[in-house]
Amino acid sequence: MRTVEVPLPDRAYRITLAAGALGAADLLRPLVAHDTALLVTDEHVAPLHLARVQAGLDGVALRVLVLPAGEQHKSLASVERVWDALAAGGFDRDATLLALGGGVVGDSAGFAAASWQRGIAFAQLPTTLLAMVDSAVGGKTGINRASGKNAVGAFHQPRGVLIDVTTLATLDARELRAGLAEAIKCALAFDPALLDTLERDLDRLLAREVEACESVIARCCELKAAVVVADEREAGPRALLNLGHTFGHALERALGYGHWLHGEAVAAGLAMAARASRALGQLDAAEVGRIERLIARAGLPIAPPPELGRRELEPLFGADKKARGGQARFVVLRGLGRAEVVAGLPEAALAAAFERPPA
Protein backbone atom coordinates (compact mmCIF):
# COMPACT_ATOMS: atom_id res chain seq x y z
CA MET A 1 0.00 0.00 0.00
CA ARG A 2 1.21 3.51 -0.84
CA THR A 3 -0.11 6.76 0.62
CA VAL A 4 0.24 10.39 -0.40
CA GLU A 5 -0.76 13.16 2.01
CA VAL A 6 -2.46 16.37 0.90
CA PRO A 7 -1.83 18.57 3.98
CA LEU A 8 -4.20 21.44 3.32
CA PRO A 9 -5.00 23.54 6.40
CA ASP A 10 -8.33 22.32 7.86
CA ARG A 11 -8.92 20.09 4.80
CA ALA A 12 -6.04 17.64 4.89
CA TYR A 13 -6.69 14.23 3.37
CA ARG A 14 -4.92 11.11 2.21
CA ILE A 15 -4.61 9.43 -1.16
CA THR A 16 -4.33 5.67 -0.68
CA LEU A 17 -3.18 3.28 -3.39
CA ALA A 18 -3.70 -0.42 -2.76
CA ALA A 19 -4.51 -3.38 -4.96
CA GLY A 20 -8.00 -4.58 -4.05
CA ALA A 21 -8.79 -1.35 -2.19
CA LEU A 22 -12.34 -1.09 -3.53
CA GLY A 23 -13.35 -4.16 -1.57
CA ALA A 24 -11.50 -3.30 1.63
CA ALA A 25 -13.88 -2.25 4.41
CA ASP A 26 -11.03 -0.85 6.51
CA LEU A 27 -10.13 1.57 3.70
CA LEU A 28 -13.65 2.38 2.50
CA ARG A 29 -15.47 2.92 5.79
CA PRO A 30 -13.34 5.89 6.98
CA LEU A 31 -14.32 7.76 3.82
CA VAL A 32 -17.96 7.94 5.01
CA ALA A 33 -18.33 10.85 7.41
CA HIS A 34 -21.21 9.35 9.40
CA ASP A 35 -23.32 6.36 8.38
CA THR A 36 -25.23 7.51 5.30
CA ALA A 37 -23.90 7.81 1.77
CA LEU A 38 -24.96 8.18 -1.84
CA LEU A 39 -22.66 6.41 -4.27
CA VAL A 40 -22.61 7.87 -7.79
CA THR A 41 -21.22 5.81 -10.66
CA ASP A 42 -21.93 5.31 -14.36
CA GLU A 43 -23.37 2.58 -16.55
CA HIS A 44 -19.93 1.34 -17.64
CA VAL A 45 -18.37 1.14 -14.19
CA ALA A 46 -21.33 -0.19 -12.20
CA PRO A 47 -21.32 -3.74 -13.62
CA LEU A 48 -17.57 -4.01 -13.09
CA HIS A 49 -16.88 -2.59 -9.64
CA LEU A 50 -20.06 -1.57 -7.79
CA ALA A 51 -20.66 -4.89 -6.03
CA ARG A 52 -17.21 -4.88 -4.42
CA VAL A 53 -17.69 -1.38 -3.05
CA GLN A 54 -21.14 -2.22 -1.72
CA ALA A 55 -19.72 -5.26 0.07
CA GLY A 56 -16.94 -3.16 1.57
CA LEU A 57 -19.51 -0.66 2.86
CA ASP A 58 -21.72 -3.21 4.58
CA GLY A 59 -23.38 -1.48 7.51
CA VAL A 60 -23.53 1.93 5.82
CA ALA A 61 -26.96 3.18 4.77
CA LEU A 62 -26.00 3.32 1.11
CA ARG A 63 -27.96 4.39 -1.93
CA VAL A 64 -26.67 4.13 -5.50
CA LEU A 65 -27.20 6.38 -8.52
CA VAL A 66 -26.03 5.18 -11.95
CA LEU A 67 -25.49 7.94 -14.51
CA PRO A 68 -25.01 7.67 -18.28
CA ALA A 69 -21.34 7.38 -19.30
CA GLY A 70 -19.38 9.79 -21.46
CA GLU A 71 -18.02 13.35 -21.53
CA GLN A 72 -21.24 14.62 -23.09
CA HIS A 73 -22.94 13.76 -19.77
CA LYS A 74 -20.64 15.99 -17.71
CA SER A 75 -23.56 18.35 -17.57
CA LEU A 76 -26.06 20.17 -15.41
CA ALA A 77 -28.57 17.42 -16.17
CA SER A 78 -26.32 14.87 -14.46
CA VAL A 79 -25.76 17.12 -11.47
CA GLU A 80 -29.52 17.63 -11.18
CA ARG A 81 -29.96 13.86 -11.10
CA VAL A 82 -27.53 13.69 -8.18
CA TRP A 83 -29.34 16.50 -6.36
CA ASP A 84 -32.66 14.73 -6.96
CA ALA A 85 -31.27 11.46 -5.58
CA LEU A 86 -29.97 13.27 -2.50
CA ALA A 87 -33.36 14.87 -1.99
CA ALA A 88 -35.26 11.61 -2.54
CA GLY A 89 -33.02 9.85 -0.03
CA GLY A 90 -33.48 12.52 2.60
CA PHE A 91 -29.73 13.17 2.75
CA ASP A 92 -28.73 16.04 5.00
CA ARG A 93 -25.39 17.69 5.77
CA ASP A 94 -24.15 14.56 7.55
CA ALA A 95 -24.29 12.55 4.32
CA THR A 96 -21.28 11.57 2.21
CA LEU A 97 -21.23 11.38 -1.54
CA LEU A 98 -18.93 8.72 -3.07
CA ALA A 99 -17.80 9.08 -6.69
CA LEU A 100 -16.95 5.74 -8.31
CA GLY A 101 -15.68 6.13 -11.85
CA GLY A 102 -13.61 8.37 -14.08
CA GLY A 103 -13.28 12.12 -14.36
CA VAL A 104 -16.81 12.72 -15.58
CA VAL A 105 -18.35 11.02 -12.54
CA GLY A 106 -15.83 12.54 -10.15
CA ASP A 107 -16.23 16.10 -11.41
CA SER A 108 -20.03 15.94 -11.68
CA ALA A 109 -20.60 14.23 -8.35
CA GLY A 110 -18.05 16.48 -6.68
CA PHE A 111 -19.87 19.57 -7.91
CA ALA A 112 -23.16 18.16 -6.64
CA ALA A 113 -21.53 17.56 -3.24
CA ALA A 114 -20.07 21.07 -3.20
CA SER A 115 -23.47 22.61 -3.80
CA TRP A 116 -25.88 20.30 -1.92
CA GLN A 117 -26.93 22.16 1.23
CA ARG A 118 -23.87 24.37 0.63
CA GLY A 119 -21.48 21.48 0.79
CA ILE A 120 -21.38 17.88 2.03
CA ALA A 121 -18.53 15.42 2.37
CA PHE A 122 -17.45 13.41 -0.63
CA ALA A 123 -14.72 10.96 -1.55
CA GLN A 124 -13.15 9.90 -4.82
CA LEU A 125 -12.92 6.25 -5.93
CA PRO A 126 -11.31 6.68 -9.36
CA THR A 127 -11.37 3.79 -11.81
CA THR A 128 -9.58 5.36 -14.82
CA LEU A 129 -5.92 6.23 -15.18
CA LEU A 130 -6.75 9.84 -16.01
CA ALA A 131 -8.78 10.24 -12.83
CA MET A 132 -6.11 8.50 -10.73
CA VAL A 133 -3.25 10.74 -11.88
CA ASP A 134 -5.21 13.98 -12.18
CA SER A 135 -8.90 14.72 -11.80
CA ALA A 136 -9.57 12.85 -8.53
CA VAL A 137 -6.87 14.84 -6.73
CA GLY A 138 -7.05 18.51 -5.82
CA GLY A 139 -10.72 19.30 -5.29
CA LYS A 140 -11.62 20.75 -8.70
CA THR A 141 -15.21 19.89 -9.55
CA GLY A 142 -17.41 21.05 -12.39
CA ILE A 143 -19.33 20.52 -15.57
CA ASN A 144 -19.04 21.51 -19.22
CA ARG A 145 -21.19 24.16 -20.85
CA ALA A 146 -21.51 25.33 -24.43
CA SER A 147 -19.34 28.27 -23.40
CA GLY A 148 -16.42 26.07 -22.41
CA LYS A 149 -14.90 23.07 -20.69
CA ASN A 150 -15.46 23.00 -16.90
CA ALA A 151 -17.07 26.43 -17.20
CA VAL A 152 -19.19 25.92 -14.06
CA GLY A 153 -17.79 24.36 -10.91
CA ALA A 154 -16.33 24.76 -7.45
CA PHE A 155 -13.27 23.92 -5.41
CA HIS A 156 -14.37 21.22 -2.97
CA GLN A 157 -11.76 18.93 -1.47
CA PRO A 158 -12.59 15.25 -0.89
CA ARG A 159 -12.36 13.47 2.47
CA GLY A 160 -10.02 11.07 0.77
CA VAL A 161 -9.05 9.37 -2.49
CA LEU A 162 -8.90 5.58 -2.72
CA ILE A 163 -7.10 4.17 -5.76
CA ASP A 164 -7.36 0.50 -6.70
CA VAL A 165 -4.98 0.03 -9.64
CA THR A 166 -6.48 -3.38 -10.42
CA THR A 167 -9.48 -1.54 -11.92
CA LEU A 168 -7.21 -0.63 -14.85
CA ALA A 169 -7.48 -4.25 -15.98
CA THR A 170 -11.07 -3.52 -17.02
CA LEU A 171 -10.33 -0.15 -18.62
CA ASP A 172 -10.79 0.29 -22.35
CA ALA A 173 -7.39 0.55 -24.10
CA ARG A 174 -8.25 3.94 -25.55
CA GLU A 175 -9.12 5.27 -22.08
CA LEU A 176 -5.87 3.89 -20.68
CA ARG A 177 -3.83 5.66 -23.33
CA ALA A 178 -5.76 8.87 -22.76
CA GLY A 179 -4.84 8.74 -19.08
CA LEU A 180 -1.17 8.59 -19.97
CA ALA A 181 -1.45 12.11 -21.40
CA GLU A 182 -1.97 13.57 -17.93
CA ALA A 183 1.00 11.60 -16.58
CA ILE A 184 3.14 12.93 -19.44
CA LYS A 185 1.88 16.43 -18.61
CA CYS A 186 3.05 16.09 -14.99
CA ALA A 187 6.47 14.96 -16.14
CA LEU A 188 6.88 17.76 -18.66
CA ALA A 189 5.69 20.45 -16.25
CA PHE A 190 7.49 19.36 -13.09
CA ASP A 191 9.69 16.25 -13.15
CA PRO A 192 12.23 15.21 -15.81
CA ALA A 193 12.92 12.00 -13.85
CA LEU A 194 9.27 11.00 -14.30
CA LEU A 195 9.68 11.64 -18.02
CA ASP A 196 12.58 9.17 -18.01
CA THR A 197 10.39 6.65 -16.17
CA LEU A 198 7.53 7.02 -18.64
CA GLU A 199 9.87 6.47 -21.57
CA ARG A 200 11.46 3.43 -19.94
CA ASP A 201 8.30 1.81 -18.60
CA LEU A 202 5.73 2.76 -21.24
CA ASP A 203 5.25 -0.82 -22.41
CA ARG A 204 4.73 -1.99 -18.82
CA LEU A 205 2.18 0.77 -18.27
CA LEU A 206 0.30 -0.15 -21.43
CA ALA A 207 0.35 -3.76 -20.22
CA ARG A 208 -1.21 -2.51 -16.94
CA GLU A 209 1.50 -3.98 -14.73
CA VAL A 210 0.41 -3.11 -11.20
CA GLU A 211 3.82 -2.14 -9.80
CA ALA A 212 4.66 0.15 -12.74
CA CYS A 213 1.21 1.75 -12.70
CA GLU A 214 1.19 2.32 -8.94
CA SER A 215 4.64 3.91 -9.05
CA VAL A 216 3.71 6.39 -11.79
CA ILE A 217 0.30 7.18 -10.29
CA ALA A 218 1.81 7.77 -6.84
CA ARG A 219 4.42 10.12 -8.28
CA CYS A 220 1.80 12.09 -10.21
CA CYS A 221 -0.29 12.36 -7.04
CA GLU A 222 2.75 13.61 -5.09
CA LEU A 223 3.45 16.26 -7.70
CA LYS A 224 -0.14 17.41 -7.89
CA ALA A 225 -0.57 17.39 -4.10
CA ALA A 226 2.44 19.68 -3.68
CA VAL A 227 1.01 22.15 -6.20
CA VAL A 228 -2.47 22.07 -4.67
CA VAL A 229 -1.13 22.70 -1.17
CA ALA A 230 0.87 25.68 -2.48
CA ASP A 231 -2.05 27.11 -4.47
CA GLU A 232 -5.40 25.44 -3.74
CA ARG A 233 -7.57 27.82 -5.74
CA GLU A 234 -5.30 28.34 -8.76
CA ALA A 235 -4.24 31.89 -8.06
CA GLY A 236 -0.69 31.13 -9.21
CA PRO A 237 1.41 27.98 -9.70
CA ARG A 238 -1.54 25.58 -9.89
CA ALA A 239 -2.22 26.99 -13.36
CA LEU A 240 0.91 25.12 -14.50
CA LEU A 241 -1.14 21.92 -14.28
CA ASN A 242 -2.94 23.25 -17.37
CA LEU A 243 0.01 22.59 -19.66
CA GLY A 244 -1.50 21.65 -23.03
CA HIS A 245 -5.03 22.41 -21.85
CA THR A 246 -5.70 25.74 -23.59
CA PHE A 247 -5.12 23.97 -26.89
CA GLY A 248 -6.81 20.78 -25.68
CA HIS A 249 -9.97 22.42 -24.37
CA ALA A 250 -10.39 24.28 -27.65
CA LEU A 251 -10.08 20.98 -29.49
CA GLU A 252 -12.71 19.31 -27.33
CA ARG A 253 -15.12 22.18 -27.77
CA ALA A 254 -14.60 22.42 -31.53
CA LEU A 255 -15.03 18.68 -32.06
CA GLY A 256 -17.94 18.34 -29.64
CA TYR A 257 -17.47 16.94 -26.15
CA GLY A 258 -16.92 13.20 -26.28
CA HIS A 259 -15.65 13.00 -29.87
CA TRP A 260 -12.08 12.97 -28.62
CA LEU A 261 -11.34 11.85 -25.07
CA HIS A 262 -10.03 14.57 -22.78
CA GLY A 263 -6.61 12.92 -22.61
CA GLU A 264 -6.40 12.70 -26.40
CA ALA A 265 -7.06 16.43 -26.71
CA VAL A 266 -4.53 17.16 -23.95
CA ALA A 267 -1.92 15.00 -25.72
CA ALA A 268 -2.26 17.03 -28.90
CA GLY A 269 -2.18 20.17 -26.77
CA LEU A 270 1.07 19.08 -25.10
CA ALA A 271 2.74 18.60 -28.47
CA MET A 272 1.42 21.97 -29.64
CA ALA A 273 2.73 23.65 -26.48
CA ALA A 274 6.12 22.01 -27.03
CA ARG A 275 6.33 23.33 -30.60
CA ALA A 276 5.31 26.80 -29.41
CA SER A 277 8.01 26.60 -26.72
CA ARG A 278 10.60 25.76 -29.37
CA ALA A 279 9.57 28.85 -31.36
CA LEU A 280 10.00 30.91 -28.20
CA GLY A 281 13.57 29.63 -27.95
CA GLN A 282 12.91 27.65 -24.76
CA LEU A 283 13.12 24.08 -26.11
CA ASP A 284 15.37 22.72 -28.81
CA ALA A 285 14.30 20.51 -31.70
CA ALA A 286 15.62 17.37 -30.02
CA GLU A 287 13.51 18.00 -26.90
CA VAL A 288 10.39 18.61 -28.98
CA GLY A 289 11.07 15.43 -30.90
CA ARG A 290 11.44 13.52 -27.65
CA ILE A 291 8.06 14.78 -26.44
CA GLU A 292 6.32 14.00 -29.71
CA ARG A 293 7.81 10.49 -29.83
CA LEU A 294 6.62 9.63 -26.33
CA ILE A 295 3.11 10.89 -27.04
CA ALA A 296 2.99 8.97 -30.31
CA ARG A 297 4.35 5.80 -28.66
CA ALA A 298 1.49 6.04 -26.20
CA GLY A 299 -0.89 5.93 -29.16
CA LEU A 300 -1.99 9.54 -28.76
CA PRO A 301 -2.27 12.41 -31.28
CA ILE A 302 0.41 15.08 -31.63
CA ALA A 303 -1.69 17.47 -33.73
CA PRO A 304 -5.33 18.42 -34.20
CA PRO A 305 -7.36 16.50 -36.77
CA PRO A 306 -6.84 17.83 -40.33
CA GLU A 307 -10.16 19.66 -40.40
CA LEU A 308 -9.20 21.87 -37.43
CA GLY A 309 -6.62 24.58 -37.86
CA ARG A 310 -5.97 28.06 -36.52
CA ARG A 311 -9.10 29.49 -38.12
CA GLU A 312 -11.30 27.09 -36.17
CA LEU A 313 -9.43 26.92 -32.86
CA GLU A 314 -7.89 30.35 -32.26
CA PRO A 315 -11.26 32.07 -31.59
CA LEU A 316 -11.87 29.56 -28.77
CA PHE A 317 -8.67 30.27 -26.83
CA GLY A 318 -10.02 33.47 -25.27
CA ALA A 319 -13.08 31.61 -23.97
CA ASP A 320 -10.93 29.25 -21.90
CA LYS A 321 -11.49 29.75 -18.18
CA LYS A 322 -7.80 30.61 -17.70
CA ALA A 323 -8.18 33.67 -19.95
CA ARG A 324 -7.96 37.11 -18.38
CA GLY A 325 -9.59 40.16 -19.92
CA GLY A 326 -10.46 38.13 -22.99
CA GLN A 327 -6.78 37.33 -23.62
CA ALA A 328 -5.81 33.67 -23.79
CA ARG A 329 -3.19 32.36 -21.41
CA PHE A 330 -0.99 29.42 -22.32
CA VAL A 331 1.34 27.19 -20.34
CA VAL A 332 4.64 26.71 -22.14
CA LEU A 333 7.92 25.01 -21.26
CA ARG A 334 11.13 26.80 -20.31
CA GLY A 335 12.79 23.38 -20.38
CA LEU A 336 11.86 19.81 -19.57
CA GLY A 337 10.25 19.87 -16.13
CA ARG A 338 9.91 23.67 -16.06
CA ALA A 339 6.58 25.20 -17.05
CA GLU A 340 5.43 28.81 -17.05
CA VAL A 341 2.22 30.70 -17.84
CA VAL A 342 2.31 33.33 -20.59
CA ALA A 343 -0.35 35.81 -21.65
CA GLY A 344 -0.88 35.19 -25.34
CA LEU A 345 1.60 33.81 -27.84
CA PRO A 346 3.42 35.72 -30.59
CA GLU A 347 2.61 34.90 -34.20
CA ALA A 348 5.67 32.68 -34.71
CA ALA A 349 4.86 30.56 -31.66
CA LEU A 350 1.21 30.12 -32.65
CA ALA A 351 2.23 29.17 -36.18
CA ALA A 352 4.70 26.61 -34.81
CA ALA A 353 2.05 25.10 -32.53
CA PHE A 354 -0.12 24.33 -35.55
CA GLU A 355 2.69 22.75 -37.57
CA ARG A 356 1.93 19.17 -38.56
CA PRO A 357 4.94 16.92 -38.04
CA PRO A 358 5.65 14.49 -40.90
CA ALA A 359 3.92 11.14 -40.52
pLDDT at 325: 65
| Domain layout of the chain by residue ranges | 2-170, 173-353
What positions carry a catalytic annotation?
118, 140, 182, 224, 234, 238, 242, 245, 249, 262
Cβ burial, residue 281 (10 Å; 0-12/13-18/19+): exposed
pLDDT in tens, the chain (359 residues): 999 999 999 899 999 999 999 999 999 999 999 999 999 999 999 999 999 999 999 999 999 999 999 999 999 999 999 999 999 999 999 999 999 999 999 999 999 999 999 999 999 999 999 999 999 999 999 999 988 888 899 999 999 999 999 999 999 999 999 999 999 999 999 999 999 999 999 999 999 999 999 999 999 999 999 999 999 999 899 999 999 999 999 999 999 988 999 999 999 999 999 999 999 999 999 999 999 999 999 999 999 999 999 999 999 997 665 666 668 899 999 999 999 999 999 999 999 999 998 87
Q: 2-170 in CATH: which number?
A: 3.40.50.1970
> What pTM was estimated for this model as a whole?
0.94
pLDDT at 150: 87
pLDDT at 324: 65
> 26: Cβ–Cβ under 8 A, 6 or more apart, which residues?
none
Topology (CATH level 3) of domain 173-353: Dehydroquinate synthase-like, alpha domain (1.20.1090)
Distance CA 69, CA 181 (A): 21
